[in-house]
Amino acid sequence: MAKRKPENQRPLRLKEGDAVGIVAPASHFDPDTFHNGIAVLESMGFNPVVDGGLYEKENYFAGPDEHRADLINRYFADEKIKAIICARGGFGSIRILSLLDFQSIQANPKCFVGFSDITAVLSVLSQKCKFPVFHGPNITTLAKATQKTKDAFYSALAADRPVRLKTQTGIILKPGTATGQVTGGNLTTLCHLLATPYQPDFSGRILLLEDTSEAPYRVDRMLSQMKLAGCFDTVAGLVLGTFRGCGRKDEIYRIAVDAFQEYDMPVLAGLPVGHGRSNLTVPMGLTATMDTDLKELMFHEPATV
């Protein structure tokens, strides 16, 4: 079977009964919470594949770096596995980036889902392998996910319509519209990629940022660092997700207004994406239009084929 051209790649749409490989690029996880998340995935009609080595532990990681990367490489190369979902975030994804087989991964595009520390893998796969990846729930967060979260997760991976993310409670920090590929994720993780071979490129893109348990001064410091590094110079638009445990919302929004006031871009805050009660699934590396008046992020095409 001939491979699709890299510039046209989108992962295949999930169907009932499809095998979904579970990987753990970062921290080890609580088995009970993990099994509850697996049950949610099964209730959607998918067939989770859990390798026995997934439960390994080394310090606060889910096994050695080579072990965590190898499972990702194997599942992308395995034709029986139709999608890959991360067990949890935590710490350590950045340590495996140099161990990923990008050539093989690009030749076998699949839905790859995760968030938080998994942002490191999402960012690199999107840029190097040129197919959409998904900023969405990990298995352990699916365990207690809201119905809205579960519906958005299923729709992004299995429906034949473009993803549309809308928030009635969004806050317009700078009005306007913007069109571009969506990128970003966890602010702390993105900041840690600076000055590495995997530094993200936000040029012409709609940047999504979210975080958890970071004091306001740390959010300010990270945005300042990225600003000094030129990360925001050509960003098309900015969407802020949830900043849970990062202080008052109005303080985070004030920091964002101050950080981005000199840039000619719209800024919309309050999209339910990230570590909040709801965590809507966002295709990364796919073109969308953000409209602050409508308080929405509308993708131009389905994320899967």
User: What ranges do the domains of the chain cover?
Assistant: 6-158, 164-299
Q: What does the pLDDT read at residue 53?
A: 94
Q: How far apart are CA 38 and CA 301, in angstroms?
A: 29
Report the 10 Å Cβ neighbour count for 189. 25
Alpha-helical (H) ranges within the chain are 31-43, 65-77, 102-107, 119-129, 139-142, 147-158, 187-192, 216-228, 249-260
pLDDT for 152: 98
CATH topology of domain 164-299: Glucose Oxidase; domain 1 (3.50.30)
DSSP letter at 272 equals S
The pTM for the full model equals 0.96
pLDDT the model gives residue 262: 95
Using a 10 angstrom Cβ sphere, with 0-12 exposed, 13-18 middle and 19 or more buried, the burial of residue 147 is exposed
Cβ–Cβ < 8 Å for 278, 146: yes
- CB neighbour class for 161 (10 Å; exposed up to 12, middle 13-18, buried from 19): exposed
Q: Please tell me the total number of residues recorded for the chain in this structure.
A: 305
Q: Enter the tokens of residue 126.
A: 């999107």
**How much is the pLDDT for 1?**
36
Instruction: Name the CATH superfamily, with its identifier, for domain 6-158.
Output: Murein tetrapeptidase LD-carboxypeptidase, N-terminal domain (3.40.50.10740)
The region, left, alpha or beta by phi > 0 then psi within -120 to 50, assigned to residue 228 is alpha
287, 293, 296, 302: CA torsion to nearest 10: -40
Tell me, yes or no, if the two domains 6-158 and 164-299 fold the same way: no
Output the pLDDT for position 8.
54
For residue 262, count CB atoms less than 10 angstroms from its CB and return exposed for 0-12, middle for 13-18, buried for 19 or more. Answer: exposed
User: Are the C-beta atoms of residues 142 and 40 closer than 8 Å to each other?
Assistant: yes
Task: Please list the pLDDT of the chain residue by residue as tens digits (305 residues).
Answer: 334 444 458 999 999 999 999 999 999 999 999 999 999 999 999 999 999 999 999 999 999 999 999 999 999 999 999 999 999 999 999 999 999 999 999 999 999 999 999 999 999 999 999 999 999 999 999 999 999 999 999 999 999 999 999 998 999 999 999 999 999 999 999 999 999 999 999 999 999 999 999 999 999 999 999 999 999 999 999 999 999 999 999 999 999 999 999 999 999 999 999 999 999 999 999 999 999 999 999 999 999 99
